Structure 1
Amino acid sequence: MSLSVTAFVADSEEKKVEDAIYRKVTWHILPLLFLCYLCAYLDRVNVGLAKLQMSADLQFSETVYGLGAGIFFIGFFTVEIPSNILLHKLGARVWIARIMISWGLISGATMFVTTPWAFYVLRFFLGVAEAGFYPGVILYLTYWYPKERRGRIYALFATAVPFSGIIGGPLSGLIIDGMNGVAGWTGWQWMFLLEALPSIVMGIAAFIFLTDHIHKAKWLSDAEKTLLSRNISRDADGKTVHSVWAALMNRKVWFMTTIYFCLIMGFYGVGFWLPTLINATGVKSAWHVGLLTAIPYASAGIAMLLIARSADRRNERRWHLALTCVVGGIGLILSALLSQSIPLAMAGLTLGAMGALSTLPLFWSIPTAFLNGTAAAAGIAFINSVGNLGGFVSPYMIGFIRDTTESSNLGMYMLAAFLFLGAGLTLLVPAKLTGKA
């Protein structure tokens, strides 16, 4: 056997061993994080299904709902950066547990809302409680995986969003229809109560089972810890932004924030308004609306994994992200143009969800390729907090447009325009910034 063949065989065997170690890591940390995000995302957007009954009961206008849904992100914005830095300092185990438990308690308290201001206040503090979770997990995963492995891992984590739609839509609809009037409470009140409990349980589980760093993992051997730490150290060598101040003043960070704002406009436009858009096609039962919301979310989950796998395999991020944005925008436009037909409108919404929801794991592979250490905690939190203001603007604007025009069409066109803008800006990102030579 020649020397080159021997080296190839040795490299191949080493890669198999390394892949097995990363599978072990994934099975130890990702299922717990996935379940936390599933519960958390459900508590963030279940207000979309609650709206079908809640707005009529409390006489909330479309604008009141849109403002309440979106004001979550103002609370989120105010404490996102310090929350993520605290996660970096205190460890994911303690901080994610704190987030999940406080989040569940505040989400459950939404059942007692009777006025618009009470709705606004609780949604604001829900954002404060949640601040740091998503960017914290993105940061936490950089402690374990080098950049060439993160795309698929981010996608696996992010599939909690479509899964929460697949499970949460029908479940929320069933609770709203089936529990209405039980013990004198409405269906939407029962929904907020029952769906808050899993977040609290997962917070306790995170405190017990989550491992903060490679060196604290009792389930890894010394040799496995050495290999994982070596890969993370090697990955950090090429990163140029290290301090908090350098991250916040870095033009690349601001540019990525602008792109993220555009993506979030589409992402939460779908998340908060999907039940209403389906309801507007003529589907009235909350149970049936919930079942139909599962279709776009299930399709988005499959698309998310396939696109991330393709991006990792080709070590290419920009074109994958840009094309995904374009697909999402086209789907939202079609959902508006075809709104008179339930099957065709659902096809458009499904395409829109596949595009809009698949953008996030692709996006986060880019900034984590050039941020490191405490700068990663601050930079990721800054991008996420400022970018997530799109989550405030998007539902509020759609609510205002619906009240003004009695139609969602203009709102869908607006969301599509932001996704198209995000696609264009993404293509301006230098290829080398994404980790691709």
Structure 2
Amino acid sequence: MKTNSVTTVDDAAPDKEAQAYSKVVWRIMPLLFLCFLVAYLDRVNVGFAKLQMSTDLNFSETVYGLGAGIFFIGYFFFEVPSNLILYRVGARKWIARIMITWGIISALMMFVTTPTSFYVMRFLLGVAEAGFFPGVILYLTYWFPARRRGRAIAMFITGIPISGIIGSPLSGWILQAFNGVNGWAGWQWLFLLEGAPTVLVGLLVWRFLDDGIADAKWLDPEEKKILQDNIRADVGEKTSHSFKHLLRDTKIWILALIYFGVLMGLYGVSFWLPTLIKATGVERPLDIGLLSAIPYIVAIIAMNLINRSSDRHAERRWHFAIPAVLGGLGLIFSAVFAQNPVYSIIALSVGCAGILTICPLFWTLPTAFIGGAAAAGGIALINSLGNLSGFVSSYLIGFLKDLTHSTSIGMYMLGGVLFVCAALVIGLIPARLVNR
């Protein structure tokens, strides 16, 4: 009788753990997903605004590329301080602050009239948003051990393709339907109507987000203990706990370089996808928006399937490298078939699927071996250095387009960068460190 009782408890433990993580997923992930959806939409809707704004304000491709990219300069300088503040004051207060301020600034983009005001507002938007993405990655380490983190990060980053699926047709429709309403251009309405909801989501964060397991009143004591024990065991396996020690770790700088390349591909597509589709001969903003959604639909399927496979097999490097190569090939062939809408959309779909798949997979690498206070600074350092690529890729593609009257050279460049990222992960990141 006693033996049967012990067996029953042991058999029930995995069910209790699964129940606890199911609660966590359904409680925090929808809200974080919504945050990233509106965040990414506010960050890249300038790509659609460009379709009208550049003509209305007489902006060259270089001016647009510099303005789109200067966001990341503000982001870079305030990223690490922002994440360290989040570590000290808690995720609820700081993520809410971030979202409310950047929603207001995004809406105020409607009043841009000159290149200088465009640059200033994009810089301030970067300052306001700094710390959001690495803050959420840090926050997920409070809830999920390494073996569950790949799927959790993938759920969060699904906000990127969903923002494309929803935001692309919506942005195209706003440009087309609201142009001239109340004397405002369509691009002005675009910034206003897509910026205001971010403020409301920030208020939801303030009301509903818990800072950690101990604050979650919706978990019972046994569930809290299971989750906290898993996190403590996971932290015990990490190798770096001091931010100063982390700065001397060459792996961190290699990872920052890899992430720089990953984001070059991501922002190259995000900021220029409407322009690439328009170059195939599609003219109406709504049609461009609908076609822009197709690559993101393909990407959301690929990224979730591959990230699940990565968690199931506890293998990170090849699950990263193969999609990175496919992403590079997709960008290159989108340029090769630039005049053919069907082939170009197919190639862009492969490119988006590869790039968006490796975004969450990348974050399973550093979070596998950094913990403690170092995680706040380390994640922010990698993210801030990597995000400088948003400035580089946006400006370079704009400059090359003005110079050559084509985006093809830019796409070839981004494809090559993704090949290098794949080689760096396989060649320089040890399997024993990240395949856990």
Shorter-chain TM-score tier = over 0.9
Q: Distance in 2 between matches of 1:211 and 1:124?
A: 30
Match of 2:18 in 1: 19
- What are the superposed Cα offsets for residues 272-323 of structure 1, whole Å, 9 maximum, x if unpaired? 1101100110111111111111100111111110010000010000001011
- What are the superposed Cα offsets for residues 321-352 of structure 1, whole Å, 9 maximum, x if unpaired? 01110010000011010111100000001110
Give the conservation status (yes or no) of the 8 Å contact 1:147–1:369. Answer: yes
Match of 2:323 in 1: 324
Q: Distance in 1 between matches of 2:6 and 2:296?
A: 45
Match of 1:246 in 2: 245
**C-alpha deviation, 1:15, in angstroms:** 1.8
Q: Distance in 2 between matches of 1:70 and 1:83?
A: 20
Quick one: which amino acid aligns to residue 301 of structure 1?
Answer: I
- What are the superposed Cα offsets for residues 40-86 of structure 1, whole Å, 9 maximum, x if unpaired? 10000000001000000001011111111011010000010010011
When residues 425 and 6 of structure 1 are mapped into structure 2, their CA distance, relative to the original with a 3 A threshold, is farther
Match of 2:432 in 1: 432
- What are the superposed Cα offsets for residues 110-169 of structure 1, whole Å, 9 maximum, x if unpaired? 100010010001001100000000010000000000000000010011000000000000
Q: How does 1:390-405 map to 2 (within 5 A)?
A: 390-405=389-404
When residues 12 and 296 of structure 1 are mapped into structure 2, their CA distance, relative to the original with a 3 A threshold, is farther
Quick one: which amino acid aligns to residue 431 of structure 1?
Answer: A
Match of 2:30 in 1: 31
Unaligned runs of 5+ in 2: none
Q: Distance in 2 between matches of 1:376 and 1:68?
A: 31
Match of 2:370 in 1: 371
Corresponding position: 1:415 with 2:409 = no
Match of 1:56 in 2: 55
Q: Distance in 2 between matches of 1:356 and 1:66?
A: 20
Give the conservation status (yes or no) of the 8 Å contact 2:38–2:198. Answer: yes
Give the conservation status (yes or no) of the 8 Å contact 1:282–1:342. Answer: yes
Q: Distance in 2 between matches of 1:406 and 1:275?
A: 16
Give the conservation status (yes or no) of the 8 Å contact 1:248–1:378. Answer: no
For normalisation by structure 2, the TM-score amounts to 0.97
Match of 2:176 in 1: 177
Quick one: which amino acid aligns to residue 430 of structure 1?
Answer: P
Q: Distance in 2 between matches of 1:76 and 1:134?
A: 11
Corresponding position: 1:386 with 2:385 = yes
Q: Distance in 2 between matches of 1:399 and 1:42?
A: 21
Quick one: which amino acid aligns to residue 65 of structure 2?
Answer: G
Q: Secondary structure at the match of 1:388?
A: helix
Match of 1:201 in 2: 200
Q: Distance in 2 between matches of 1:141 and 1:435?
A: 18
Q: Distance in 1 between matches of 2:85 and 2:394?
A: 30
Match of 1:125 in 2: 124
Q: How does 1:9-408 map to 2 (within 5 A)?
A: 13-408=12-407
Q: Distance in 1 between matches of 2:6 and 2:76?
A: 51
Q: Which segment is superposed worse, 88-97 or 239-248?
A: 239-248
Q: Over aligned residue pairs, what C-alpha RMSD do you find?
A: 1.5
Q: Which segment is superposed worse, 13-22 or 189-198?
A: 13-22
Q: Distance in 1 between matches of 2:285 and 2:316?
A: 38
Give the conservation status (yes or no) of the 8 Å contact 2:37–2:163. Answer: yes
Q: Distance in 2 between matches of 1:63 and 1:171?
A: 26
Q: Distance in 2 between matches of 1:138 and 1:248?
A: 19
Q: Distance in 2 between matches of 1:7 and 1:274?
A: 59
Give the conservation status (yes or no) of the 8 Å contact 1:333–1:416. Answer: yes
- What are the superposed Cα offsets for residues 372-403 of structure 1, whole Å, 9 maximum, x if unpaired? 12100000000000011111101110000100
Give the conservation status (yes or no) of the 8 Å contact 2:106–2:191. Answer: yes
Give the conservation status (yes or no) of the 8 Å contact 2:260–2:389. Answer: yes
Quick one: which amino acid aligns to residue 165 of structure 1?
Answer: G
Q: Secondary structure at the match of 1:389?
A: helix
Q: Distance in 1 between matches of 2:200 and 2:382?
A: 29
Q: Secondary structure at the match of 1:241?
A: coil
**C-alpha deviation, 1:245, in angstroms:** 1.1
Give the conservation status (yes or no) of the 8 Å contact 2:338–2:344. Answer: yes
Quick one: which amino acid aligns to residue 318 of structure 2?
Answer: W
**C-alpha deviation, 1:413, in angstroms:** 0.3
Give the conservation status (yes or no) of the 8 Å contact 2:165–2:297. Answer: yes
When residues 53 and 231 of structure 1 are mapped into structure 2, their CA distance, relative to the original with a 3 A threshold, is same
Quick one: which amino acid aligns to residue 360 of structure 2?
Answer: P
Point out 4+ residue stretches in structure 1 off by more than 6 angstroms.
5-10
Give the conservation status (yes or no) of the 8 Å contact 2:299–2:353. Answer: yes
Q: Distance in 1 between matches of 2:213 and 2:395?
A: 42
**C-alpha deviation, 1:426, in angstroms:** 0.6
When residues 318 and 8 of structure 1 are mapped into structure 2, their CA distance, relative to the original with a 3 A threshold, is farther
**C-alpha deviation, 1:198, in angstroms:** 1.0
- Pairs aligned (count): 434
Q: Distance in 2 between matches of 1:63 and 1:7?
A: 69
**C-alpha deviation, 1:13, in angstroms:** 3.6
Quick one: which amino acid aligns to residue 162 of structure 1?
Answer: P
Q: Secondary structure at the match of 1:427?
A: helix
Give the conservation status (yes or no) of the 8 Å contact 1:248–1:382. Answer: no
Give the conservation status (yes or no) of the 8 Å contact 2:396–2:410. Answer: yes
Give the conservation status (yes or no) of the 8 Å contact 1:103–1:126. Answer: yes
**C-alpha deviation, 1:8, in angstroms:** 8.8
Give the conservation status (yes or no) of the 8 Å contact 2:279–2:339. Answer: no
Give the conservation status (yes or no) of the 8 Å contact 2:16–2:223. Answer: no
